[in-house]
A and B are shown apart, each in its own frame.
Chain A
Amino acid sequence: DAGVTQSPTHLIKTRGQHVTLRCSPISGHKSVSWYQQVLGQGPQFIFQYYEKEERGRGNFPDRFSARQFPNYSSELNVNALLLGDSALYLCASSLREGRGIQYFGAGTRLSVL
């Protein structure tokens, strides 16, 4: 069975640009969460979506947005990129919101120059 898939695996952008990261959950999973992981730190929660609705939000600026599609895949958008946005962005899917066990993808490595 396919796990959580994320694309692209690596991305290089310059300051001020915007970026879209994509995530396909495990088949049957209806919830997707996004995390930012800076080197040497634990994952920082950005969003959780369930059935196309936002169900949780971390402490990130409005430059970060996301959405979930009818097939439960998801996009994370970041506008006006800053150097500090350079990180590994992880997607996790679960059968349901909240207590559902999260299964993580390999992540997208974003470098902002």
Chain B
Amino acid sequence: AQSVSQHNHHVILSEAASLELGCNYSYGGTVNLFWYVQYPGQHLQLLLKYFSGDPLVKGIKGFEAEFIKSKFSFNLRKPSVQWSDTAEYFCAVMGTTSGTYKYIFGTGTRLKVLA
């Protein structure tokens, strides 16, 4: 079955702590991977993406993610979080089958950063 699993539903960190949010996917064939973020009161927006090439991708606001094909994982990391990183984070997969597209989102991780 095609799916995206995010291991942590709620994460609470203090400012300056390191962050790693887990994401594993199950999808046959070529995939493109995304992390989206939704700040309080704002729309979903793209944080970073992986299509091909270097499996370590960098996004906005100091976030990065590493694609590990053998583990079907695309974990999100940030060395030092800030209070303004409080948001909900979604991992997503876009797959292609016979020229049509399908997008699968994880259930999301709510991150709260304490000042």
Contact = CB atoms under 8 A, between A and B. Distances in A.
B44 A104 contact: yes
Contact of A105 (B43, B49, B94, B96): B43
A42 B46 contact: no
Chain B interface residue bracket vs A: 20 to 34
Interface stretch (B14-22, B70-78, B79-87, B99-107): B99-107
A57 B95 CA distance: 12
A98 B107 CA distance: 21
Contacts of B43: 3-4, 103-106
B45 interface: yes
Contacts of A92: 44
A55 B97 CA distance: 11
Contacts of B103: 33, 35, 43, 45, 48, 56, 58
A40 to B, nearest CB: 7
B46 A98 contact: no
Nearest to B52: A99
A75 interface: no
B101 A97 contact: yes
Contacts of B102: 45, 56-58
A44 B51 contact: no
A90 interface: yes
A99 B94 contact: yes
Contact of A55 (B44, B45, B100): B100
Given A90-B44, A104-B44, A98 B94 contact: yes
Given A57-B100, A98-B101, A102-B46, A43 B51 contact: no
Contact of B106 (A4, A42, A58, A105): A42
B51 A99 contact: yes
A83 interface: no
A47 to B, nearest CB: 10
Interface of A: 3-4, 33, 35, 40-45, 48, 55-58, 90, 92, 97-99, 101-106
The 6 closest A-B pairs by CB, nearest first: A42-B105, A56-B101, A104-B44, A45-B103, A104-B43, A43-B105
